[in-house]
Amino acid sequence: MSTPLDRPDQGGTATLDRELEELLREEHVEPGDHERFSHYVKKDKILESAITGKPVRALCGKKWTPGRDPEKFPVCPTCKEIYESMVG
């Protein structure tokens, strides 16, 4: 019987890295995606989510775990309004 230490390429962070890469590569559109938006979130929070898998909270209050290309969706109007009121 082998242990994770016997096969360092199996399990642990290597598995998490592969799973994250697979999630980032997935580009299939699920039902309801046409109503989704890309949201404004601090960059460091997106990086933290990518590493830990913890959800992020957008300016509009939506909480989710990022996993899709935000370029494929329109910007959330609520996030945009809040952001513009903060910078302008």
27-45: pLDDT as tens digits: 444 554 446 899 999 999 9
What single letter denotes the amino acid at residue 71?
E
- Residue 29 has a pLDDT of 46
Is residue 55 over pLDDT 70?
yes
Q: How far is the C-alpha of 12 from the C-alpha of 6, rounded, in Å?
A: 12
Q: What's the predicted TM-score (pTM) here?
A: 0.57
Nearest CA to 68 out of 88, 85, 50 is that of 50
Strand ranges for the chain from DSSP E? 56-57, 63-64
Between 8 and 37, whose confidence is greater?
A: 37
Nearest CA to 29 out of 62, 66, 68 is that of 68
